[in-house]
């Protein structure tokens, strides 16, 4: 079963839902995440794990891992989750945590990948689905797809379309393992 971690809009969560994948639980570090409302609308168990409520990040991550595992989660998908995960979380799901990132990693890691690709003047950027380690977008790449920067006006929209197609594909393949 899949656990999805979210922080924002939740369009990637929606793509996973629409693909009919077996999602058991949705967790967020942000109470205001619209993704939580999507989860609730779909009838998925959803819970907030705000850092401020815990002694430290490892304590928060342990409780989040407990909650997911209680719901049968054995594959974790970061779908716009904007916090680093500590080893306290990652060691509970070895080789079973994946993320979608809007660049051709290792280029442009971090929270501003599309803006940085534009500022660097590259002609081609893309989307990466990768395993998560405790670095910033540093885990092994599973799949990448290129996206042309021009026309710029539609770049964000085209990047999202690729995310929403390849993330569910990769997750379905990992579920089958």
What distance separates the 2 farthest-apart alpha carbons in the chain? 47
User: Does 139 sit near ligand GRF (CB under 6 A)?
Assistant: no
Nearer to ligand GRF, 8 or 45 (CB): 8
CB of 47 to ligand GRF, least distance (A): 17
Residue 101 falls in the annotated catalytic set? yes
Nearer to ligand GRF, 9 or 145 (CB): 9
Binding mask 145-164 for ligand GRF (x = CB under 6 A): ------------------x-
Q: Are 132 and 125 in contact (CB under 8 A)?
A: no
DSSP string across 102-132:
SS-TTSS-STTHHHHHHHHT-SEEEEEEEE-
Q: Exactly one of 101, 112, 130, 164 is catalytic; which is it?
A: 101
Q: Are 45 and 74 in contact (CB under 8 A)?
A: no
> What tokens does 37 get?
């409302």
User: Does 8 sit near ligand GRF (CB under 6 A)?
Assistant: yes
User: Other C-beta atoms within 10 Å of 136: how many?
Assistant: 10
Binding mask 96-125 for ligand GRF (x = CB under 6 A): ----xxx-----------------------
CB of 92 to ligand GRF, least distance (A): 22
- Distance between CA atoms of 93 and 97, rounded to whole angstroms? 7
Binding mask 31-60 for ligand GRF (x = CB under 6 A): ----x-------------------------
Which residues 6+ apart lie within 8 Å of 24 measured at CB? 1, 2, 3, 44, 45, 68, 71, 72, 73
> Which residues are tagged catalytic?
101
Residue ranges that bind ligand GRF, judged by CB under 6 A = 8-12, 35, 79-80, 100-102, 163
């Amino acid at each position: 079963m899949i656990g999805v971690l979210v922080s924002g809009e939740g369009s990637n969560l929606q793509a996973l839902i629409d693909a009919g994948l077996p999602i058991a639980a949705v967790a967020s570090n942000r109470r205001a995440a619209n993704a939580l409302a999507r989860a609730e609308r779909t009838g998925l168990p959803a819970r907030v794990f705000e850092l401020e409520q815990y002694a430290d990040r490892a304590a928060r991550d342990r409780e989040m891992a407990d909650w997911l595992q209680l719901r049968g989660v054995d594959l974790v998908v970061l779908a716009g989750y904007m916090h680093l995960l500590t080893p306290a979380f990652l060691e509970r799901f070895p080789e079973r945590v994946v993320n979608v990132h809007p660049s051709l990693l290792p280029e442009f890691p971090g929270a501003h990948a599309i803006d940085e690709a534009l500022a660097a003047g590259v002609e081609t950027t893309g989307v990466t689905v990768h395993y998560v380690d405790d670095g910033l977008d540093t885990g092994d790449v599973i799949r990448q797809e290129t996206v042309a920067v021009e026309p710029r006006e539609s770049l964000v929209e085209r990047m999202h379309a690729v995310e929403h197609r390849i993330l569910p594909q990769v997750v379905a393949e990992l579920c089958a393992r």
